[in-house]
Amino acid sequence: MLIHPPQPDEYAAYQASYVARVTDGDVMHVLRTQVASLRELLTSVTDARARTRPAPAEWSINEVIGHMADTERIFAYRTLRIARGDTTPLAGFDQDDYILPGKFNARALSSLLDEFARVREATLSLVETLDDEALSRRGIASNNPVSARALVFITAGHVAHHTESLRTVYL
């Protein structure tokens, strides 16, 4: 299944950096390989280290992984609604408001990685069923127009963004 990259009018300007992170042109390959890459990157991280914030205003590794799972759920929900032709504007969310209630630092890193893997499997299950017509549908999310296709790329790019942050800031 090849999903062509979205055009710039299919997503908001602030999402362009996520779309641009899918550099090999095969977003499905990226989606299928990110969990294993993330696990490999974090293989030597202890639970104590995963719970430690590098600075007071920064998230811990656990919180980053929890954020990725939460955000992927939201992006997949948006993808589903838009792909099915639902034109109801979809609300935005404040990512910081999800961190403390998520209690990610009370969990083992392996538990969070397993959860993210299950969320990704659900995302793949959805995306694999979408044809070009469904992927081309557009809706409104966070007060911006977006296509289902763009949301697939944004989903992969969001994880790529945080994986790079983990690699360069945390490890």
Q: Which residues pair with 146 in a beta bridge?
A: 139
Locate 171 and state its tokens: 């490890």
Does position 1 have pLDDT exceeding 90, yes or no?
A: no
Q: Which residues contact 75 (CB under 8 A, 6 or more apart)?
A: 123, 151, 154, 155, 158
Q: Evaluate whether the domain defined by 8-170 bears CATH number 3.40.47.10.
A: no
**H/E element holding 28?**
helix 27-41
Q: What one-character DSSP code corresponds to residue 55?
A: S
Mean pLDDT of all residues belonging to the chain: 97
Q: Domain locations in the chain?
A: 8-170
Percent of the chain surpassing pLDDT 90: 96
Distance CA 85, CA 80 (A): 9
Q: What is the pTM of this model?
A: 0.96
Question: Residue 13's pLDDT is what?
Answer: 97
Going by pLDDT thresholds of 50, 70 and 90, the confidence category of residue 24 is confident
